[in-house]
Amino acid sequence: MTKNTVLKRALQAAVLLVLMPVALASYGQIERYVAGTHYVEIANPVNTNDASRVEVIEAFWYGCSHCFRFEPLITNWEENKPDDVDFVRFPAMWNNLMKIHAQVYYAAEALDAVDVLHEHIFNAINVERNMLQNESQIADLFAEHGVSEEDFDRTFNSFSVRTKVNQAERRMQDYGIRSTPNMIVNGKYLIATSENVRTQQEMLEVVDFLVEKERQAMRSSGD
Domains of the chain listed by start with CATH number: 31-92+177-223 (3.40.30.10), 95-175 (3.40.30.10)
Average pLDDT over every residue of 39-61: 97
Gyration radius (Cα) of the chain, Å = 23
Q: What is the pLDDT of residues 91-119, one digit of tens each?
A: 999 999 999 999 999 999 999 999 999 99
Beta strands 85-91 and 40-41, pairing class: unpaired
What was the pLDDT predicted at 2?
60
Q: The whole model's pTM is what?
A: 0.85
Q: What percent of the chain has pLDDT over 70?
A: 86
pLDDT band for position 4 (50/70/90)? low
Output the pLDDT for position 222: 74
Spatial neighbors of 102 by CB under 8 A, at least 6 apart, are 91, 92, 93, 165, 168, 169
pLDDT, one tens digit per residue, over 136-179 is 999 999 999 999 999 999 999 999 999 999 999 999 999 999 99
Question: Which pLDDT score, from 0 to 100, does residue 22 have?
Answer: 43
